[in-house]
Structure 1
Amino acid sequence: MKRVDSVISLIYSLSKAEKKHFSLLVVKDRDEKDYLVIYDIITKSKQPNGNTIKEEFYKRRPNGSFEVSIQYLYEKLTDALLILRKKKDICYDLFNNLCKARMLYERSLFEECFEILSDTIEQAQYYENNEVLIIALKLELEYLLRLNFPGMTEKELFHKHFMQNEALKKIRKITEQSSLHNLLKYRLAHIGSIRTAQQKQDMNDLMVNELYIAASSETEGNFELTRNHKLFQANYLMMTGNYKAALNSYKELDLLFEKNQQFWSNPPIYYLSVLEGVLSSLRFVGNYEEMPYFLEKLKKLITTTSFEFKVNATCLLFQYELFPSLDKGNFLECTKLMNLYHEPLYDKEVWLSPIRKSELLLYTTLIHIGNQDYKAAKKHISNAIIDHNIKYLPLMRTIRLVRLIVYYEMQEYDLIRHESRSISRGLSSSKEQSFKTEHLILWFLNKKNLPILRNERELFWEKLTPEIEHLFDDKFENQLLRIFDFTAWIESKILKKNLTETLQQHINAKKL
């Protein structure tokens, strides 16, 4: 990212309080410095970009240096934001204390130095920040060594070495545990949900290794070890399609986080992951009634965090407020909800992570399909495909299939044939990574000469029904159908039924 783009992103992420703080910091420079000219241009531009900002800058400051000024503005903004983080994020405070201790020691203020280090060690232990604890203990021992351990007993020295070794052991266990969790999440993102028994066996190997680490660690009483262990279990259960067990694991995690709020990261990305897991599990088991309780918790996170985190959390909130209506085919309610989120979400979609943005465009497309607004559906699904950041991820195949559905509705059959061949090649080259549902959708989209008479269509659907029912009985296939019930769309096309009515019938059938 170019420096000017970074500055634009930083400025647009500032809250009102942060903008006020920055203005107070630079008040003495106002109307004098070139960097403030750039700041003024960006804040007053509706859709700023690097080129227009540079052109406007040279109109106001013909003899100025844009590159120097933009770099200086970047440094001023980051310094201002770092100042604001003090007393708001314990991690910043602890590292700041370490820097203070070093400075005080260098100026021979030994008593003040050890006082700060002692306080830092105590806080690092309380917040279970083993990395800071290791550095603080190392500095303390190094300074004590230089001073020949003044007023210190051998027992006290032994205790400090013991604390160091215990912190190192915990870091090693957490690192081993995190590496397995990272591998699990990587496979989910780049390979997708489990589709075959062999893939499940590969995941079982990860589970066995993680259980071994958890069993050999004193997870009880250590928040990070317990959190990582339960997160791994919950994610594993989700990937294997055991949604009820996953729901219980996520609820246990929610209780763990609620009881240990002092250990939340800032922004609370781990707790956001837990809430997403709970809501996802509730959706998959069809328990929409419990969702509002956890959605309220999600709303509280959105009011207290950074701008980028807030936008991504808002997208998550929108999705899970949307799903009860989308799953039931209530597209009118879906449209009303989209309108409510136009300003807080759709206007800020540039801040979304690539995956979250693609999910938003995918579900927006499905809403437009339900409303039979195929022109809008084509626009949104095409925007999702443009993003090269998810080009090779499993979600892209689903997005491409939905685009084929839009082509089908718009009767663009030549495009369907061309795109289907490309998708089919991808599926055939990785059969272990494909769903039967994907092949079914492609087969139907390329099906020629559907029966015309109603009784013939009903007979055609009747012959297809056993295969459809088998998909719903397969927990691996359910991992794709949980995104959207594509079989309901196929049924609505064959029987010429309303999609809303078909989705509602499928939901009612699941309850029986």
Structure 2
Amino acid sequence: MSNLSSLSQLIHALSKAEKRSFSQYAALQQRGKSYLSLYEIIRKGKSADIERDFMLANPDSDFVSTVQYLRTLLIKTLLTLRNEQADEELLLNGILEIKLLFRKGLIDDAFKLITKYKALARKAEKFDYCMLLEKMELQHQNWHQFDGIPDEGQLVKLQSHLRRNIQYELNLADHSALFELLYFRYLQNGNVLSDKDKDHLNDLVVTEMNLSGNQRFESFDLNRNHLLFQSVYFMMTGDHRSSLRTYYELDKLFGQYAHLWQDEPIVYINHIRGILNNLFNTQQVSEMDYFTGKLRVLSQKNPQLIIDQVICVAELKKSLMLRQFEKGIILIEKEFAQLFSHTDLLVASDKAELSLFAGLIYFHSKQYRKSAVLLRKIIYLEPTKNNWLWKMIKWLNLLVHIELNDYDYLQNETGSVERLLKKQSIYYPTDKALMHYVKRLPLCMNRKAKVSLAKECLTHIESPEKNRYEIQFLNTMNIQFWLSHKLTTK
């Protein structure tokens, strides 16, 4: 990400209070105010070329150095404004203070602070910091001839605490690794194709069951990883209702331990994203408003573009499921217009997801050109790691060009899509039926032949209720609705 993109994302993530405080802070600075001009250009979000507009207003200023200065000043201001530091920040600052005291020879004060921050680390379940503090304590007790340890029993106790925290971190690392591997497979391959393919996940499932069944420790992070593993496993095997139940358990856990994640809201945002995804796949869209409402509340204190992206995608999914396409267009062009003007600040997968569902709204509204423009911006970028998402984008792009009667493009792109599906092992029965349709369509010389081809394709595509392994693809693309429409369109 360029410095300008980083700066833009930082400015758009500021809360109203932070923007007000920054303006007051900047007014006290003696430096020339060209950086404030840049700040206002980015904050208003109306500039098509930020550098050009800045240089027109400030011809004697250097754009690159102003970007760097403004970014540095913003970060400095935000750090200064934090009235209440998070537990992790307190621990980091505490460790620096302890090191300083040891260097200056204030040994007793340093050991008192170690005791204080160990208690905080245990309360906040930051056992990695407990480990660091205990290691520091043992080192300095050794270097100062164990002056603060009354007997051997106390030393052995301190050593055992350190070993236990090391063992906990290893246990947490094992749990995290299993979830990360499973989630990576999900992003790469999507749902399994059959019960036989389901067995290929057994290596991770058995290991996770052994870890959970022989649990020596209890913490928010361990419980969260266990439930996340289960929920993703159920999603991969097409059991979205079980995945949803697991996510509800996870939601209770997040509610009980809100103080442990409130300073890292991305953890909770991704959790809500998982719930919304399962509600969509189980066609319970009426329940979505409750969880998008939680995100709206969260965005008041943490105005992040990713929150707007998750809310917008959920609302677009709801419009697709209810076939309220006009409402979806209002969301894109009015309610979330600012989000769509700043998609370059999103990570590739979030940008692709947003473009997919906006493209689907335009597609089903028969605004094919608008859908094509959105998809073109994504298609020619580097593919995202989420192969499942990338596949749907490629398919939608083909369907759009069918509606645009661009058969020359179809001929070139169809082979590319087929090679992609085979190479990445995500060639599902519905993909094969659609590929047959796309290949045969240019050969159909009249409406009767096209209707016959659409009927043939429909017979090979099961409903989402019957085909659990493709439920996400079928609900998202709404292929049956589109093909059924082909039977009646003249």
Please indicate, yes or no, whether the TM-score normalized by the shorter chain is above 0.5. yes
Which residue in the other structure is 2:253 paired with? 256
CA contact (8 A) 1:315 1:360 kept: yes
Three-state SS of the structure 2 residue aligned to 1:193 is coil
Which residue in the other structure is 2:470 paired with? 477
> Structure 1 450/359 Cα, relative in aligned 2: closer, same or farther at 3 Å?
farther
Q: 1:368 aligns with which of 358, 362, 365?
A: 362
Q: 2:181 aligns with which of 173, 180, 183?
A: 183
Unaligned ranges ≥5, structure 2: none
Which residue in the other structure is 2:344 paired with? 350
CA contact (8 A) 2:430 2:460 kept: no
How large is the RMSD of aligned CA atoms in angstroms? 2.9
1:293-304 aligned at under 5 Å gives the runs 293-304=290-301
Three-state SS of the structure 1 residue aligned to 2:462 is helix
Unaligned ranges ≥5, structure 1: 498-512
Q: 2:143 aligns with which of 127, 131, 146?
A: 146
Q: Which 10-residue stretch deviates more, 192-201 or 437-446?
A: 192-201
> Structure 1 57/215 Cα, relative in aligned 2: closer, same or farther at 3 Å?
farther
> Structure 1 457/194 Cα, relative in aligned 2: closer, same or farther at 3 Å?
same
Q: 2:163 aligns with which of 162, 165, 180?
A: 165
Q: Which 10-residue stretch deviates more, 206-215 or 79-88?
A: 79-88
Which residue in the other structure is 2:207 paired with? 209
> Structure 1 387/461 Cα, relative in aligned 2: closer, same or farther at 3 Å?
closer
Q: Name the amino acid aligned to 1:175.
A: A
Q: Structure 2 CA distance, aligned partners of 1:345 and 1:69?
A: 25
> Structure 1 9/253 Cα, relative in aligned 2: closer, same or farther at 3 Å?
closer
Q: Structure 2 CA distance, aligned partners of 1:391 and 1:169?
A: 33
Q: 2:428 aligns with which of 429, 435, 446?
A: 435
CA contact (8 A) 1:250 1:278 kept: yes
Structure 1 position 445 matched with structure 2 position 435: no
Three-state SS of the structure 2 residue aligned to 1:319 is helix
> Structure 1 59/319 Cα, relative in aligned 2: closer, same or farther at 3 Å?
closer
> Structure 1 206/484 Cα, relative in aligned 2: closer, same or farther at 3 Å?
same
Q: Name the amino acid aligned to 2:244.
A: L
Three-state SS of the structure 2 residue aligned to 1:218 is coil
- Per-residue CA deviation, residues 442-475 of structure 1 (Å, 9 max, x unaligned), is 222332327635xx87776655544223776232
Pairwise CA distance, 1:299: 1.9
1:224-373 aligned at under 5 Å gives the runs 224-264=221-261, 266-305=263-302, 307=303, 310-373=304-367
Which residue in the other structure is 2:112 paired with? 115
Q: Structure 2 CA distance, aligned partners of 1:116 and 1:490?
A: 69
Superposition TM-score, scaled by structure 2 size = 0.89
Pairwise CA distance, 1:440: 1.9
Q: Structure 2 CA distance, aligned partners of 1:107 and 1:37?
A: 43
Instruction: Name which structure has the greater RCO, CA cutoff 8 Å, separation 6+.
Output: 2
Q: Structure 1 CA distance, aligned partners of 2:282 and 2:273?
A: 14
Pairwise CA distance, 1:354: 1.3
> Structure 1 258/487 Cα, relative in aligned 2: closer, same or farther at 3 Å?
same
Q: Structure 2 CA distance, aligned partners of 1:459 and 1:70?
A: 60
> Structure 1 375/85 Cα, relative in aligned 2: closer, same or farther at 3 Å?
same
Three-state SS of the structure 2 residue aligned to 1:483 is helix
Which residue in the other structure is 1:509 paired with? none
> Structure 1 2/350 Cα, relative in aligned 2: closer, same or farther at 3 Å?
closer
Q: Structure 2 CA distance, aligned partners of 1:334 and 1:23?
A: 36
Q: Which 10-residue stretch deviates more, 349-358 or 46-55?
A: 46-55
CA contact (8 A) 1:38 1:57 kept: no
CA contact (8 A) 1:311 1:344 kept: no
CA contact (8 A) 1:312 1:351 kept: no
Q: 1:194 aligns with which of 160, 177, 192?
A: 192
Question: How many positions carry a matched residue from both structures?
Answer: 484
Q: Structure 2 CA distance, aligned partners of 1:387 and 1:404?
A: 17
Which residue in the other structure is 2:30 paired with? 30
